[in-house]
Structure 1
Amino acid sequence: MKLYKQRLLSDAQLKRLSEHQYSCQSCSILDTFLQSYWNWLVSKVPIWLAPNLITILGLVINIITALILVWYSPDAKLEAPRWACALCGLGLFIYQSLDAIDGKQARRTGTANPLGELFDHGCDSISTVFVALSACIAVQLGYYPGWMFFQCFCAVTLFYCAHWQTYVSGTLRFGRVDVTEAQFTIMGILAISAIFGPSVWSTKFFSDTFYLWYLIPLSTLVCGLVALYSSLIVIFTGGVGKNGSTVAGTSVLSPVIPFSMVLVPAFIIYQKSTQEIYQNHPALYILAFGLVAAKVTNRLVVAHMTKSEMDYMDWSLLGPTMLFLNQYFNTFVNEYYVLWLCLIWVSVDLMRYCYQICQEICDHLHIELFRIPYPGGPQKVIPPTSSALEKNGSGGKKQQSDEEDSMPLLDNASH
């Protein structure tokens, strides 16, 4: 169902996308230790299971378990049940595990293609919003709305910056402490809340001047600044286009405009609301603006893979515009209802965009999104030759390149 454009991608863009080669550099500490687990896990996956189906299954589990936490504490102040925190942590672990093996499954079945990378990063962009929000709820950060805003939007900003520098340099880069480490840290936060209850984060130290939850924003601030510095260094010095431009030959600063059109209104509306819409409904607010950020990030990934200029305007921005105009006209409509309308709009728009992009790429590459196009899997799978590490994207992806995984030789007898 193509609501806005007959086609989102031109023939030239589809051609460049089909020629796209995934490039990634990673020196993550945990990835090295988890490789044996991921290799074991993918060996247990049926050979007929499509890689993209693995990805979407993990995302659905992650979203459902996070929404259960949101249901019990929509304002991030109420103490969510311990079992809900445990379930959310389990959902994140399942997502991280499935996220790590979808690329391995693609190479195992001989079905690796550019759509897999795009689908992977798209799921990551959505997962990032729910993971950040669930961590805030688990520590009852709703009592400190400013810090909660910082935590959630720091996560989506760093995710966007990782793909911004990829758009500039052509290579996705991850440091020693990055996506996997962040995911397992949040699993640890959820586990502590599950064992001791979310109220444990209000424990005081050092003569009642230091709360336990202070550790979370402080570590986010330090690690975030390091990651942001690394990305900015690449952005300003690593352009592979003409005269140091992006892969599309555009200015390295151009991606800042679309994202600022999400982040700046989110902050202004939060500050100017007479009904304190963010303070009273932080989960709803973060989901609405987070999904807009996910849509913009997806468009950046598409621009990188198609080596094309990124449009500044987007239909999803209509959602925040509703809130802004409502405030401009002295809150003519209750902001709570406008916020719900905004969330519904951006959710539908994001799903429409993802569906249409995937459909156009599938038609061009003559592949199917959730099905391997041969019964029972390939007749023969060629094992890769090395074990260099690779990531699929930020919200949590671990992958290895087509030549970089060491999987056993499999044939139809393995089914």
Structure 2
Amino acid sequence: MAGYEYVSPEQLAGFDKYKYSAVDTNPLSLYIMHPFWNTLVKAFPTWLAPNLITFSGFLLVVFNFLLMTYFDPDFYASAPGHKHVPDWVWIVVGILNFMAYTLDGVDGKQARRTNSSTPLGELFDHGLDSWSCVYFVVTVYSIFGRGPTGVSVFVLYLLLWVVLFSFILSHWEKYNTGILFLPWGYDVSQVTISFVYIVTAIVGVEAWYEPFLFNFLYRDLFTTMIIGKKLHVEACFNHHFVFKSQ
């Protein structure tokens, strides 16, 4: 396999003509996160490689996953009668999750700031993002966990597919249209997840099993948000793909 030609010379030549094109219409991104990232990136030294920023953010996501694996290896820590994850762990995970999200937003700005933006850098960034989709969902699962009042493993499996399918669909759309239409769900979910971790440290995991509207639990609200993200991505794909095809 080492001698197999995975990329043809014609495809390699296409890298010289390729330009990254993305559209972000999320108000949270436009009016809050991007101004924050534009200010933050100025503090980064120009010698700092964008790929190093990307990889650092990814390592924070992996660290969160490993930390939660240590304290909740079987996803039963949030179940009644089991030893819960210490409050300080939720705080650490929440802070690191937001830091990883921030680094993911800053790396591209650093690349443009230092004139080091390349197609391979984009591939590296999005390749790590595809792995992060798994770590994000599995780490959050520890909040609700298994058990009589928890979330089944089958639901976790479905949520993983929802997130991964949304990621794949967005990039399939980019392949066909040449433009990456960034889904609103990503920024909203990252800020929400970071907030939920911190809140969990304050109110405890039991709070997520309390009804906030009739018999609809807070954990159900979180699941609905993830499903809503998928539906929004599909709607955007249908609109943009059809529009571009006309």
Question: Shorter chain as normaliser: what TM range?
Answer: 0.7 to 0.9
Partner Cα distance (2:97, 2:42) in 1:
21
CA distance in 1, matches of 2:123, 2:227: 29
How far is 1:232 from its partner?
3.2
* Cα pair distance change 1:205/1:42, threshold 3 Å: closer
Structure 1 counterpart SS, 2:15 = helix
Q: Say whether residues 1:203 and 2:210 are aligned partners.
A: yes
Q: Is the 8 A contact 1:65 1:84 kept in 2?
A: no
What is residue 230 of structure 1 aligned with on the other side? Answer: 236
Moved more, 209-218 or 157-166: 209-218
2:144–2:151 Cα contact (<8 Å) kept: no
Match of 1:104 among 92, 104, 109: 109
Matches within 5 A, 1:124-273: 124-140=129-145, 143-175=151-183, 177-205=184-212, 209-235=215-241, 238-239=244-245
Deviation at 1:43, TM superposition (A): 1.1
Q: Which is further off, 46-55 or 221-230?
A: 221-230
Q: 2:169 & 2:4 partners in 1: Cα distance?
A: 30
Please name the residue that 1:44 is paired with.
43
Which residue of structure 2 lines up, in the alignment, with residue 68 of structure 1? 67
Q: Distance in 1 between matches of 2:151 and 2:25?
A: 37
CA RMSD of aligned residues (A): 2.1
How far did 1:166 drift? 0.9
CA deviation map 1:327-355 (0-9, x unaligned): xxxxxxxxxxxxxxxxxxxxxxxxxxxxx
Name the count of aligned residue pairs. Answer: 236
CA distance in 2, matches of 1:137, 1:6: 42
Tell me which amino acid in the other structure corresponds to 1:67.
Answer: L
Distance (Å, rounded) in 2 between the aligned partners of 1:129 and 1:120: 15
Kindly provide the CA deviation profile for residues 366-395 of structure 1, in whole angstroms up to 9, marking residues without a partner as x. xxxxxxxxxxxxxxxxxxxxxxxxxxxxxx
Match of 1:382 in 2: none
1:151 & 1:22 partners in 2: Cα distance? 29
Kept in 2, the 8 Å contact 1:136–1:151? The answer is no
Residues 57 and 205 from structure 1, CA distance in 2 versus in 1: closer, same or farther, beyond 3 angstroms? closer
Give, in whole Å, the separation in 2 of the partners of 1:108 and 1:143. Answer: 44
**Unpaired runs of at least 5, structure 2:** 79-84
Q: Structure 2: how far apart are the matches of 1:26 and 1:201? A: 32
Question: By how many angstroms is 1:235 displaced?
Answer: 4.1
Distance 2:103 2:213 in 1: 41
| Percent of pairs with identical residues | 29
Corresponding residue of 1:14: 12
**Distance in 2 (alpha carbons) for counterparts of 1:126 and 1:135:** 15
CA distance, structure 2, for counterparts of residue 55 and residue 100 of structure 1: 9
Deviations 1:183-241 (A, max 9, x none): 1111122122222222321123566x3322111112222332122122134445534xx
Do the aligned partners of 1:62 and 1:92 also contact (CA within 8 Å) in 2?
yes
CA distance in 2, matches of 1:36, 1:206: 35
Cα offsets for 1:79-138 (capped at 9, x unmatched): 322222222212211111111111111122221111121111111111111111111212
**Equivalent-residue separation in structure 2 for 1:232 and 1:82 (angstroms):** 43
2:26 corresponds to which residue?
28
SS where residue 48 of structure 1 aligns? coil
SS at match of 2:235: helix
Q: Distance in 2 between matches of 1:41 and 1:12?
A: 39
Q: Alignment partner for residue 126 of structure 2, among 121, 128, 133?
A: 121
Amino acid at match of 1:138: I
Runs of 4+ with deviation above 4 angstroms = none
Q: Secondary structure at the match of 1:78?
A: coil
Q: Is the 8 A contact 1:76 1:143 kept in 2?
A: no
TM-score (ref. length: structure 2): 0.87
Q: What CA deviation, in whole Å up to 9, does each residue of 1:127-181 have, x standing for no partner?
A: 1111111112122256422322222221111111111111111110125x33211
Q: 1:15 to 1:83 in 2, by over 3 A?
A: same
Letter paired with 2:222:
I
CA 1:212–1:17: 2 relative to 1, 3 Å: same
| Maintained 8 Å contact 1:164/1:235 | no
Amino acid at match of 1:113: T
